[in-house]
A and B are shown apart, each in its own frame.
Chain A
Amino acid sequence: MREGDERVFGELVARWSGMMLRLALSHVGSRPLAEDIVQDAWLTVLRSLDRFERRSSFRTWVLGIVVNVARSRARAERRSIVPFSASNEPVVDPSRFLAADHPRWPHHWAVEPVSWRTPEDDLLAGETRKVILDAIDVLPPAQREVLVLRDFEGLTGTEVCNILRVSDTHQRVLLHRARSRVRNALERYFTATETM
């Protein structure tokens, strides 16, 4: 890379740009803006190569640059960015559980979840896929960012901490909330459709 090997650069662009695009999209709703961000990030990578200190993996460093570029572009374009919130929202609506003073089953399910009848392969198709993608779209940006990197891209918790510069606990809390919201969206959909 430092010798100016165009082929290597081309391979990295081909291999990583999809992931960088999804990461950028998790900050801004617009695809053209996300593509812009990825372009800017690569140019920043080229400009800053001398400053790469190898304290992290190259990929972590590149993805960290995407996050920085995305955040400043989002601010500049006045897209509202919810700061990393440490809210204590419960992951399931409290009304789903019995009260603390219930005589027999305090804090147990009041309305029990039931296994989804749709086979898992079908979850990727048509309507349910749209439910999932829509659920991801309306996640708070911090949660969406972590969900995309962890569950979609398959990066480790450690790498995500380094990219986003948050603690391990924090990224796990964000991840758990994001996953819970997507599950909730699927459950609402199945409750509406499977009972018909």
Chain B
Amino acid sequence: MIDRDLPEMPCRELVELITDYLEDLLSPAQRTRFEAHLAECEACNAYLEQFRQTIRVLGRLPEESLSSEARDVLLAAFRGWSRR
């Protein structure tokens, strides 16, 4: 049940707290207000989903890697170092 003593969390406040929410770092009162607002606000649900999609896509971006020439230089440096 929503605690009716807690002030409603407006959209402007919710968008600042999403990362904390996703890491489960909101206080119990904040989390109650956050979820109560989500239950009633389609726009914030859309925003939250966009935010989650953004995070997921960031995790799936393809990788850069060090060129093989650069790696060879490092291995040569290592050999020089280990011979000391």
Contact = CB atoms under 8 A, between A and B. Distances in A.
Interface of A: 4, 6, 9-10, 13-14, 17-18, 20-22, 25, 35, 38-39, 42-43, 46-47, 90-92, 94, 97, 105-109, 112-116, 120, 123-124, 129, 132-133, 147, 151-152, 154, 157, 172, 175-176, 179-180, 182-183, 186-187
Interface string B37-51: 000011110110111
Contacts of A4: 81-82
B70 interface: yes
Given A13-B66, A182-B54, A108 B12 contact: yes
Nearest to A185: B54
Given A120-B56, A151-B58, A183-B54, A108 B10 contact: yes
B53 to A, nearest CB: 6
Contacts of A187: 50
Instruction: Name A's interface SS.
Output: helix
Contacts of A176: 16, 18-20
Contacts of B49: 115
Q: Nearest 3 A-B pairs (CB), nearest first?
A: A107-B10, A4-B82, A176-B19
